[in-house]
C-alpha cells in the first residue's frame, strides 16, 4: 500500500503507520534532531542510519537510493515469509525534499530487532578469541539457512549482521539485504562466492579491531576468518549430503535425522533408495528447515525462544520430568507443570526494573548456569530459589539493558580508534 503526504512524500508499506508522517523527512537523516532519535548502538554502515521511536516501537531509518530501498524492502518481505532470520521491513519513503525543494535520498524503514546488537557491541574491553569464534559460527548457520532458500547475499560480513544471545552462543540475523538476490536454487559457484566474500570481510573486520587495540592479543584474524568456510561446509554437507550404508544398518536413518535435529533442523522428507540387489541403501535429506527445538518448545509450552535457548529449556524440562518420576506421563501435561512451577516463578522473581536486561529465555538459561557455578564453588546442591536470588544480585543487576538502549541520541559503535561501549 502506498499513501501520499504533503510535499509529494510517498510512503510504501503493507500497513502504513500514520506516525511516520510526523518525522522530519524534509531534513537529511544526519541532521535529524535528537528529540526524535533513540540511543542504540549502531554498527558500521556505508549509509546514514538512525534509530527512531515510533508508536511505542523502535525503527531503523536508512538513507539510500530508491532502487536499492525498494529492492531491499521486497527482499526482506520475502525472507520473512520464508522464516529466515532477518529484520522486518516497515516502509519505503520516497519524494523527500528539503526546505529549498532540493531532492533528498529515499529512506528504508525497518523494525529494530529487540535484544540484538552489532558485533562490535558484544564485548566489553577486548574481543576474545572464543567470542569471535561463536560469532563466526552463528554467521555460518545464517549463511547456510539463506543459501538453502536460494538467497545469494553478495556482501556477507559481521557488519551486515545483528546478533542475539542464545544460551551462551549467538543467533545471527541478516540486517542488510541491499546486494542480495533470491533464486530458486543457488549454484555451487554462487555459494562459494558468498563464502569467499565472508572470509575476506571477516578477516578485515577483525584486523580493524586489532589495529585499534580492541581485540585480544591472542586473536589471530586469519584462522578465525577461515572458520566460516569449514563450519559452513560441515553444516551444508550434513544437511544436504547423501550417504550409503548396508541394508542391515537401517538404524543409520534414525541416526542421521537425530544429528540434523541436534543441529536445529527438521527433516521434512528423506529420499531413501536401494541398489538393484537391495544390499546398499542410499539416504539423502530432501527438505530441511531450521528451528526443531524452537518448534517443539512452542508446541509444548508456547514459549518462543532462540534455538539454543529452546534446547536448554527442553533439557531442563526433561530433567524435571525425570526428577518428578513422570517419564510415562503425557508430555504436554508435564510441560505445563514445568512452565508454571519452574520457568514462570524464575522469571516472575526478576524485579520489574531488571526485566528488560535480557530475554526471559536467556535469563532462565543464565540462572541455570549460575546455579551450576554456585554448586561447583560451594560443593553442594543449590535450590533453584537460592540460585535465582544470587543471580539477580550478583549478575543481572550489573548487566546493561539489551532490550533497547534508550538515550537522547543514536550512539555509533566506535571505530577502531575509540573504545567500544561496555555492554557485557
Rg, Å, the chain Cα set: 24
Kindly state the DSSP code that residue 209 receives in the 8-state scheme.
H
Give per-residue pLDDT as tens, 254-309: 777 777 777 766 665 566 666 666 666 666 665 455 677 888 888 899 898 888 89
Is 19 a member of any domain?
Answer: yes
User: Closest Cα partner for 134 from 350, 308, 394?
Assistant: 308
Is 310 a member of any domain?
Answer: yes
Give per-residue pLDDT as tens, 238-267: 888 877 777 667 677 777 777 777 776 666
Residues 124 and 236 in one domain: yes
Residues 282 and 326 in one domain: no
User: Which CA distances in Å does 264 have to 175, 307, 368?
Assistant: 22, 7, 21
User: Closest Cα partner for 161 from 205, 129, 215?
Assistant: 205
Is 271 a member of any domain?
Answer: yes
**Host domain of residue 130:** 117-240
Residues 102 and 122 in one domain: no
Residues 127 and 100 in one domain: no
pLDDT at 161: 94
Is 205 a member of any domain?
Answer: yes
Q: How far apart are CA 295 and CA 309, in angstroms?
A: 12
Mean pLDDT of 199-209: 92
Q: How far apart are CA 270 and CA 281, in angstroms?
A: 12
Of the three residues 240, 256, 276, the one that is the final residue of a domain is: 240
Give per-residue pLDDT as tens, 8-25: 789 998 888 889 999 999
Residues 164 and 86 in one domain: no
The burial class, CB within 10 Å (0-12 / 13-18 / 19+), for 276 is: exposed
Q: How far apart are CA 312 and CA 306, in angstroms?
A: 10
pLDDT at 158: 93
Residues 327 and 311 in one domain: yes
Residues 369 and 298 in one domain: yes
Is 282 a member of any domain?
Answer: yes
pLDDT at 290: 66
Per DSSP bridges, beta strands 41-42 and 411-412 are parallel
DSSP secondary structure letters along 366-409:
HHHHHHHHHHHHHTSPPPHHHHHHHHHHHTGGGS---S----SS
Residues 133 and 224 in one domain: yes
Which are the contacts of 98, defined by CB distance < 8 A and separation ≥ 6? Answer: 26, 27, 28, 104
Helix (H, G, I), strand (E, B) or coil at 74: helix
Of the three residues 240, 273, 305, the one that is the final residue of a domain is: 240
Number of domains in the chain: 4
Residues 121 and 236 in one domain: yes
Give per-residue pLDDT as tens, 26-59: 999 999 999 899 877 666 667 889 999 888 889 9
Mean pLDDT of the chain: 83
Which are the contacts of 107, defined by CB distance < 8 A and separation ≥ 6? Answer: 25, 29, 61, 62, 63, 64, 69, 92, 93, 96
Is 417 a member of any domain?
Answer: no
CATH of the domain at 6: 3.30.200
| Contact in structure between 346 and 362 (CB atoms under 8 Å) | no
Per DSSP bridges, beta strands 151-152 and 116-117 are unpaired
Matching residue, cell 533439557: 315
Residue 360 main-chain phi, psi, to 5 deg: -55, -40
pLDDT at 412: 46
| Contact in structure between 278 and 249 (CB atoms under 8 Å) | no
Q: How far apart are CA 42 and CA 211, in angstroms?
A: 20
Dihedral angle sign, alpha carbons of residues 8, 9, 11, 12: positive
Is 49 a member of any domain?
Answer: yes
Residues 231 and 161 in one domain: yes
Show the cell assigned to 174: 541478516
Residues 193 and 258 in one domain: no
pLDDT at 405: 47
Helix (H, G, I), strand (E, B) or coil at 357: coil
Show the cell assigned to 90: 516497515
| Contact in structure between 185 and 150 (CB atoms under 8 Å) | yes
Matching residue, cell 529494530: 112
CATH of the domain at 137: 1.10.510.10
Residues 266 and 164 in one domain: no
Is 260 a member of any domain?
Answer: yes
User: Which CA distances in Å does 159 have to 17, 164, 204, 284, 333?
Assistant: 29, 14, 11, 35, 44
Residue 215 main-chain phi, psi, to 5 deg: -115, 145
Q: How far apart are CA 320 and CA 51, in angstroms?
A: 42
Show the cell assigned to 171: 543467533
User: Closest Cα partner for 109 from 44, 191, 194, 19?
Assistant: 19
pTM: 0.72
Show the cell assigned to 368: 541455570
Amino acid at each position: 500500500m502506498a499513501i501520499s503526504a504533503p510535499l509529494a512524500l510517498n510512503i510504501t508499506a503493507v500497513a502504513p503507520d500514520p506516525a511516520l508522517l510526523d518525522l522530519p523527512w524534509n531534513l537529511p537523516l544526519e541532521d535529524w534532531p535528537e528529540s526524535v532519535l533513540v540511543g542504540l548502538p549502531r554498527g558500521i554502515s556505508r549509509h546514514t542510519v538512525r534509530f527512531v521511536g515510533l508508536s511505542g516501537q523502535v525503527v531503523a531509518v536508512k538513507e539510500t537510493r530508491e532502487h536499492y530501498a525498494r529492492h531491499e524492502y521486497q527482499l526482506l518481505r520475502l525472507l520473512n515469509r520464508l522464516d529466515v532470520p532477518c529484520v522486518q521491513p516497515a516502509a519505503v519513503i520516497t519524494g523527500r525534499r528539503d526546505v529549498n525543494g532540493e531532492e533528498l535520498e529515499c529512506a528504508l524503514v525497518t523494525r529494530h530487532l529487540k535484544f540484538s546488537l552489532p558485533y562490535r557491541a558484544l564485548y566489553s574491553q577486548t574481543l576474545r578469541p572464543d567470542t569471535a569464534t561463536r560469532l563466526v559460527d552463528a554467521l555460518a548457520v545464517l549463511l547456510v539457512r539463506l543459501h538453502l532458500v536460494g538467497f545469494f547475499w553478495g556482501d556477507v560480513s559481521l557488519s551486515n549482521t545483528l546478533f542475539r544471545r542464545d544460551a551462551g552462543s549467538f543467533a545471527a540475523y541478516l540486517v542488510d539485504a541491499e546486494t542480495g538476490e533470491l533464486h530458486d536454487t543457488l549454484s555451487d559457484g554462487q555459494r562459494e562466492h558468498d563464502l569467499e566474500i565472508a572470509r575476506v570481510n571477516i578477516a578485515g573486520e577483525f584486523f580493524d579491531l586489532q589495529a585499534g587495540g580492541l581485540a585480544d592479543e591472542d586473536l589471530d584474524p586469519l584462522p578465525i576468518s577461515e572458520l566460516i568456510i569449514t563450519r559452513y561446509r560441515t553444516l551444508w554437507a550434513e544437511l544436504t549430503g547423501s550417504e550409503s550404508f548396508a541394508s542391515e544398518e537401517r538404524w543409520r536413518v534414525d541416526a542421521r535425522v537425530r544429528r540434523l535435529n541436534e543441529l536445529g533442523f527438521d527433516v521434512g522428507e528423506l529420499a531413501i533408495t536401494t541398489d538393484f540387489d537391495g544390499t546398499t541403501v542410499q539416504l539423502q535429506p530432501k527438505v530441511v528447515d531450521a528451528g526443531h527445538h524452537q518448534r517443539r518448545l512452542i508446541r509444548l509450552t508456547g514459549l518462543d525462544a532462540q534455538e539454543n535457548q529452546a534446547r536448554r529449556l527442553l533439557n531442563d524440562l526433561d530433567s524435571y520430568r525425570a526428577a518428578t518420576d513422570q517419564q510415562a506421563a503425557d508430555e504436554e501435561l508435564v510441560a505445563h507443570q514445568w512452565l508454571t512451577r519452574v520457568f514462570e516463578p524464575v522469571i516472575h522473581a526478576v524485579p520489574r526494573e531488571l526485566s528488560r536486561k535480557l530475554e526471559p529465555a536467556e535469563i532462565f538459561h543464565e540462572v541455570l548456569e549460575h546455579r551450576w557455578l554456585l554448586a561447583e564453588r560451594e560443593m553442594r546442591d543449590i535450590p533453584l530459589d537460592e540460585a535465582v536470588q544470587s543471580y539477580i544480585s550478583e549478575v543481572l543487576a550489573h548487566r546493561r539493558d539489551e532490550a533497547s538502549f534508550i538515550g537522547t541520541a543514536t550512539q555509533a559503535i566506535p571505530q577502531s580508534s575509540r573504545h567500544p561501549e561496555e555492554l557485557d
